[in-house]
Structure 1
Amino acid sequence: MTWIAPWKRGPVLAALALLLGLVLLLHAWIPNTGGVGSLVENLLPWLGVCVPVLLAGAWWRRSASAALALVLPVTVWLSLFGGLLQDKSHPGGDLTAVSHNVSAGNDDPSGTARQLADSGADLLALEELTPQATGTYEKVLAKAYPYRTVQGTVGLWSRLPLSDTRPVDVVRDDVGPLARTRPVDHAQDEVRALRTTVATDHGPLAVYVAHLGSVRVLPSSGFWTVSRDFGARALAKAVAAERNERVVVLGDLNGTTDDRAFRALTSRLSSAQETAGNGFGLTWPASFPIARIDQILVRGVRARSAWVLPGTGSDHLPVAARISW
């Protein structure tokens, strides 16, 4: 019968649509051999791009089975990311926090500092600071931010007093034979995270600033995340031991919150972008962002709004959030 023909057409397209839906639905079950599972989760929202491609193929083949099979990936994708398409921001808030990986290769740290100061942030976290550029940031930001702390390659500038500041060890001492793949500006013994207490009108707020290890795509080992994953576990352990109920984590985590490496962290904190933002808030690379690897995570306080700031001289975009008690 002629009405049966559309259901027989496009079996490959139907199979691909079902496979896409299963990858979205069961991504946590994908083995992480060679970092495959982690890589898929960092790019998970982009799998939605496959839907219109498969839909166009189904239309071209006049395949009813392929079109029906697409219901699965569409449903799963919307359940995972549909909420991010809504504007969840609310007016108000007690302070504004901004985080920015300013990039070691930034040719205009002075301009970047002025641009960030104009954002009106009460707390300004900077990552990937270099000894050469740190002095410039300190000079330009001194008037707007009377309080600051710099620990290694990360720093926090604040309009409010800081105390109980200390480095947080998120750097793996031994990265084995892959050590040579790390950038020369990221020495193994450097400090890449800090913890400090911000004195607010509502009481003390624990703030962490972190720049976790880089990830690499290597011919021999695939998606290499050893350094990053170690840092994620160390940061999660520090947050778990934090006695202050109110916590804000700012920084370049070199991974999205969908990445399994951050489960111990995201199980204790919520993403400002996911709870109070509008859209995916992609931050890297700045020229054509494909992932949000720069995060603002909170516990014990509420994000009222979250957004991405315009680009500076860095290869990352700054992220901001308005936080309330």
Structure 2
Amino acid sequence: MRIALCALLLTGLLVFPGVLPNSPGHLGSLAETALPWFGLGVPLLLVWAAVRRSVKEVTCVLVPAVAWVALFWPGIVDFGGRDLGRADFRVLTVNVGGDRTAPRDVARRVRATDADVVALEKVPGPAMHAYEKELGGRYPHHAVGDTLGLWSRYPLRGVEKLDLGGAWPHAVRAVARTPVGDTAVYAVRLPSVRVGLGKGFTVQERDASAARLARRVADDGTPRVVLLGDLNGSLRDRGLAPLARELRSAHRQAGEGLGFTWPAAFPLVRLDHVLVRGLDATGSTVLPDLGSDHRPVVTGLRAAR
């Protein structure tokens, strides 16, 4: 009976994580961020049921197993529909990790991806000029704001630094003249979150900035939109729901695997995203560790059909 009850609760958590209260400490958001890892409860319950030699309890455990597979297996299995080469253009997002990386090394790896539009986040102020120098030959058009930078093979216009609250601009927007037409590109780094005793999951600033950004995106009249950057959260996190309602995840459409990007040495969650409107993803890949605490993401895009 206890195994069946645990299996029922696990299934409910996987399928309806939104029913978890977000107080105290925004624990609901934390559970949604770590949701794929709750699948580890399945083998634990299976072992428990096997020890008890109960066929009925093993059968009960298959219910959360099926729920996990339905939610996450489609992203793990490649059915042959993902191909960066079929894209009209490629985009790349890289949180360079502040002083963790050298501009020359990052620029070399950026150029190797053959991306057409690149968003860099968490660029130290003293290093920005070095990035401009290293990337300028491949990307003649760029726009920067505080720790954010956009580099593009295509002309940029309408550059804006967006005030999303907090101590610095958390987004830079520009319109790129891509092969499929004008495309609004956002380079984003939302406020950081932490988990601490007494404070819980500190997402208040991030959630407020995400809501402001979602309103700006909703009002953006450009026919195509690409948002690139570090959102400091999973799109399953209810705090990022306003953005998820406005834009689609390129990874969910054409990604490989679970797409975890942080921490780079052994990724456990996906914090770095490519979100789109008016475009389809042909493929989206998390790249190897480049020395930052985040892994880069490269995505192929084409006009929506």
Task: Give the TM interval when normalised to the shorter protein.
Answer: over 0.9
Once the 2 structures are TM-superposed, how far is the Cα of residue 56 of structure 1 from its aligned partner?
1.4
CA distance, structure 2, for counterparts of residue 122 and residue 107 of structure 1? 22
CA distance, structure 2, for counterparts of residue 240 and residue 234 of structure 1? 10
Once the 2 structures are TM-superposed, how far is the Cα of residue 80 of structure 1 from its aligned partner?
1.8
What's the TM-score, normalizing by structure 1?
Answer: 0.89
2:41 to 35, 42, 50: 50
Once the 2 structures are TM-superposed, how far is the Cα of residue 66 of structure 1 from its aligned partner?
2.1
- 1:108 is aligned with what amino acid? A
- 1:301 is aligned with what amino acid? L
Unaligned runs of 5+ in 1: 1-10, 173-187
Alignment deviations for residues 130-158 of structure 1 (CA, whole Å, 9 cap, x no partner): 11111111111111110111011111000
2:11 to 15, 21, 24: 21
- Higher Cα radius of gyration: 1
- 2:19 is aligned with what amino acid? W
2:98 corresponds to 1:104: yes
CA distance, structure 1, for counterparts of residue 53 and residue 129 of structure 2? 64
1:269 to 236, 244, 247: 247
2:122 to 96, 118, 128: 128
Alignment deviations for residues 162-197 of structure 1 (CA, whole Å, 9 cap, x no partner): 00000111233xxxxxxxxxxxxxxx1x22201100
2:290 corresponds to 1:290: no
Q: Assess if the C-alpha contact under 8 Å between 2:88 and 2:179 holds in 1.
A: no
2:57 to 44, 66, 82: 66
CA distance, structure 2, for counterparts of residue 63 and residue 134 of structure 1? 62
Moved beyond 6 Å, runs of 4+: none
CA distance, structure 2, for counterparts of residue 106 and residue 287 of structure 1? 13
Provide the secondary structure at the position in 2 that maps to 1:243.
coil
1:146 to 140, 145, 149: 140
Identity value in percent: 40
What's the TM-score, normalizing by structure 2?
Answer: 0.95
Q: Which residue of 1 aligns with 2:233?
A: 255
Unaligned runs of 5+ in 2: none
CA distance, structure 2, for counterparts of residue 115 and residue 76 of structure 1? 38
Q: Which residue of 1 aligns with 2:107?
A: 113
CA distance, structure 1, for counterparts of residue 165 and residue 196 of structure 2? 20
- 2:64 is aligned with what amino acid? P
Once the 2 structures are TM-superposed, how far is the Cα of residue 241 of structure 1 from its aligned partner?
0.5
Q: Assess if the C-alpha contact under 8 Å between 1:276 and 1:305 holds in 2.
A: yes
Q: Assess if the C-alpha contact under 8 Å between 2:27 and 2:200 holds in 1.
A: yes
CA distance, structure 2, for counterparts of residue 204 and residue 107 of structure 1? 32
CA distance, structure 1, for counterparts of residue 52 and residue 131 of structure 2? 59
Q: Assess if the C-alpha contact under 8 Å between 1:283 and 1:290 holds in 2.
A: yes
Once the 2 structures are TM-superposed, how far is the Cα of residue 306 of structure 1 from its aligned partner?
0.6
2:200 corresponds to 1:200: no
